[in-house]
Copies of this chain bind each other. A is one copy, B any other.
Amino acid sequence: MNANENYQGAVCPIPKIEYDKILMAHGGGGTLTHQLIKKIFISQFGNEVLNVLHDSAILKVESKRLAFTTDSYVVNPVFFPGGNIGELAVYGTINDLVMAGAEPLFLSVSFILEEGFLIEDLWQIVVSMKNASQKGNVKIVTGDTKVVDNGKADKIFINTSGIGIIPEGVDIGPQNAKPGDLIILNGRIAEHGIAILSAREGIEFESEIISDLAPLNSLVSLMLNESKNIHVLRDPTRGGLASTLNEIAAQSNIGIRIYEDKIPIAGNVKAACEIFGLDPLYIANEGKLVAFIDPADAEKVLNQMHAHELGMEASIIGEVTKNNPKTVVMKTAIGTNRIIDMISGEQLPRIC
């Protein structure tokens, strides 16, 4: 490696950062991920669109607002209960567009394949991506394929980028939460992460735990038809509900109070978390969203959600406070207050 020799950019001193090598935790969605993004990426790439750190960038094209997002998927194992890496890549990117209030329209798909990967497995992934794109109502319009030597990737990595259009009157962003907003969660947490972990470790529970992977566009479309006063939407994927709420609290400069007994979780998932020693608040979801809504509209949105298969167990799990800005506090089931921090290490690597 002769990095310096060929490096032609302006001299630019490296920022002070905690570690000199990439750790698994830099990809975990917690404080190390945020540090890497802020100090290395934003410090160089930063501009008024990127700095919002939304799930999607919002771009003006004539009178329309486009949402634009990207994600690379490296989940291990590639096939898991409830889906595979291909469906995850389609639905994950659809959901990032939806979290900006956009109607997803177009996806790109780029494969990095390891030499020796079975065509049969690739075919299954591709067929399920086709089905997922039909279910999610998007078109795959452009793509790319790269192959790397055996041992230089892990079977298959997939990048999907997506474009959607934001309807007029919709203004959703992680900086828009307001004191008094009620926080709705659409269902049970921690199922995706625990499904992946169980599959990876080969652990079987009495009843199989299945990923909640699903496209959220039709649910959100129902919500937005009911109210334009939805201020924030976010899908609590990597880093789980706790990290998502912390990000919103920081970006909107508000406090968040949630109630443990209002957060739906399946009994077998709760039990699995106890066995693994994991906190479900930090476990990834792939078919969940939190919505921050004007209190006047929250009930009617909730009623609409209850009529949708992905919102049947939706509930109001908390509210936005003026007090304790940038902090998430949970009232526990036994009545104490617990501060819910951003995670610092890595709970579960490669869950998406």
Binding site for B on A (CB under 8 A): 1-10, 12, 14-15, 17, 19-28, 33, 36-37, 40-41, 44-45, 47, 49-50, 54, 56-57, 59, 61-64, 66, 68-74, 76-84, 105-106, 108-124, 126-131, 133, 139-149, 151-154, 157, 159, 161, 163, 165, 349-350, 352
Across-interface contacts of A66 in B (CB, < 8 A): 61, 163
Beta-carbon contact of A142 and B57 below 8 Å? yes
For the complex, would chain A's binding face be called helix, strand, loop or mixed by DSSP majority? mixed
Q: Provide a sorted-by-A list of 14 A–B residue pairs whose CB atoms are within 8 angstroms.
A: A6-B82, A7-B124, A12-B127, A22-B116, A22-B117, A22-B122, A22-B147, A40-B119, A40-B122, A47-B140, A49-B141, A61-B62, A148-B154, A161-B161
Q: Indicate if the CB atoms of A115 and B3 lie closer than 8 Å.
A: no
A113 touches B27 (CB 8 A): yes
| Inter-subunit contact B152/A83 (CB<8 Å) | no
Report the minimum CB–CB distance from A50 to chain B (whole Å).
5
One of B71, B110, B124, B127 near A71 (C-beta < 8 A): B110
**A81–B6 alpha-carbon span in the complex (Å):** 6
Shortest beta-carbon distance, A126 to chain B, in Å? 5
Query: Which residues of chain B have C-beta atoms less than 8 A from A115's C-beta?
Result: 21-24
Contact A6 B84 (CB under 8 A): yes
Q: Which B residues are in CB contact (< 8 Å) with A45?
A: 109, 126, 129-130, 133, 140, 143
Given the known interface contacts A22-B147, A115-B24, the answer about A79 and B1 at a Cβ–Cβ threshold of 8 Å is: yes
